Structure 1
Amino acid sequence: MSKKLSVDYIVVDVTSAYNALIGQTTLNRFPAVVSTPHLCMKFSTMEGIATIKGDQKLACKCYNESLKFKRQPAEQKGDPATWSLYVGGSSNKSGNRAGVILESNQGTRIELSLRFEFPTSNNQVEYEALLAGLKLAKEVGAERLMVFSDLQVITSQINSTYQPKDPIIKKYLDEAREQLTHFAEGEVRHIAQDPMPELMPSPN
């Protein structure tokens, strides 16, 4: 049993235990159900349910190998790069879309376009983009991070000047604050304009 699906990947030169990451949008297109502890994915085909199983021993070996890559001491590698994370999103009748730009002062630039297949608000879309960007920044090993968002209510919430009443938004806020603790230096700022309208995927 098989099923073909065209997927665009972003290639990043970083030390990681993963060869590839498949996002929720792609999994929804199969549709697929994933169990990380069992290294197993199931999805429907014309012939029935197909199952893909990973090799537990090989996965452990790859993970252990990735841990061997030690970071150089600070006196050898110099100052760590400063990364800027730009997030923006919108939720309307044409769809729920967002964009993420992560770039360093050393010339690295990563762009992500996100589309959500579930009902959501502007605040939720912005938080989804923010969380995706923070996880990406953590994956590339960023230590200094500046986050920029055009939605002032989000930046105010993260900077503790405005507390949300919506329990769903409160969960997003708690997760974003937890993710920010992974960086040695992290700051969230508001910008007046959407930083990436060209990255917003088409609703079609």
Structure 2
Amino acid sequence: MAGEGAATGAELYVGHGTVWVNGDNGYIAMQVSGLEAFLGAGLTDSGLNERLRAWYHQLSLPDFTYECQRVHRNSRDNLKRLRNLIQALFERHGCLLVLRVDLGYSQEYGAWIDYETARHHRERLCQQFHTNDLFAHQLGYAWKLEWGMEKGFHYHFVFFFDANRRKEPVTLNERIGELWAQSITGKQGTYRNCNRNAENIY
């Protein structure tokens, strides 16, 4: 574990079956985003069918099958690592403050945010762990990237803090969300404070 007030950097991908969120094959997500753009631009039926046939051909190639299997395997391994991280934190620390915050993009920008931009924003956020007092006494974290037709790319983050040093989870969660929405994404972001009314939801 890192010293007091430092981030340990337990950076994990814990998705299940979403092949395009892995950095090595982000191009798949780009194809999906591109398809939306073509639909919005009024692509003819024949042109759309041609692109769909080309997309289906790519999905049926052995390389794509291998990538799917690799990502499923990585997902299982990362879920195991996350469980080990949580167990190790509870064994080492008497009390943990756990935050969950969903970080995404506003409707105005969400459809135009590609994988590379979403990854850049995540990397910018993670850099803050080492320099921003907001993340003092952070013990670990995990994240999952998802893509949806309406939301586009969005992250689910879990943060683990030393509960003896940090209090007020709702306020802390709110500040992290505002950092993402205003600074990290240049006012293109949105967030959901999952600690608000958590006892009535989870």
TM-score (norm 1): 0.31
| TM-score, structure 2 as length reference | 0.31
- Whose strand fraction is larger, Structure 1's or Structure 2's? 1
Q: Higher helix share goes to which structure?
A: 2
